[in-house]
Amino acid sequence: PASPPSSPPSVRLNDTVEYVEDTRRPSGALPFDPNRTGNLAADARHRLHSRLKSYEAQRRIAYRAKWQSTALYWRSARTIQEEAVREVAVFRGLLLARVAAEEMAGRTAAAIADEEVDWETGRLLDRTQRKTRKKGVAVTATARSSPPRSPS
């Protein structure tokens, strides 16, 4: 039977980070150099910190392209959304302008139908002018529709 692949040597720490047990050394060997002075726990923390820094540097290098791609994607998505918001605002303005124009055209058509237009100036009559016109003082519709005849 095939044996499972051997795992890389592990660094095991106890809860208070007092020692590092290296499983690669032969049994009975000392976990440190006797000629070296210093705190074993501090040395273990330093080695772990160095390994962590090395791992983080390798991870950053490995994921740099992915990170840049993700950042580019989100920048593009944000730009597209901003452009869409601007386009909606422009469309809303156009729509409101169209509604205002249609309302004005409707009011003008109603005013023409109700004979509330001063044909000499081309303006709508105000309230007092409309009252006066309704009393029959203003020009009649038949006189308005036919142009004045020139003497010939």
Residue 135: inside a domain = yes
- In the predicted model, is pLDDT for residue 79 greater than 90? yes
Sign of the alpha-carbon torsion through 56, 57, 60, 62: negative
Least confident of 19-28, 58-67, 86-95, 104-113: 19-28
Q: What percentage of the chain carries pLDDT values higher than 90? A: 30
Residue 42: inside a domain = yes
How high is the pLDDT of residue 29? Answer: 52
Counted domains in the chain? 1
Residue 151: inside a domain = no
Q: What is the DSSP string of 114-125?
A: TT-EETTTTEE-
- In the predicted model, is pLDDT for residue 3 greater than 80? no
Q: Answer whether 19's CB lies under 8 Å from 44's CB.
A: yes
Tokens found for residue 132: 């006066």
Residue 82: inside a domain = yes
- In the predicted model, is pLDDT for residue 52 greater than 80? yes
- Rounded mean pLDDT of the chain? 74
Sign of the alpha-carbon torsion through 15, 19, 20, 25: negative
Residue 94: inside a domain = yes
Q: Which range of residues forms the domain containing residue 97?
A: 30-140
Residue 78: inside a domain = yes
Residue 3: inside a domain = no
Question: Could you give the 3-state DSSP secondary structure of residue 74?
Answer: helix
DSSP code of 31? S
How high is the pLDDT of residue 128? Answer: 74
Residue 11: inside a domain = no
Least confident of 15-24, 38-47, 64-73, 126-135: 15-24
Q: Answer whether 32's CB lies under 8 Å from 43's CB.
A: yes
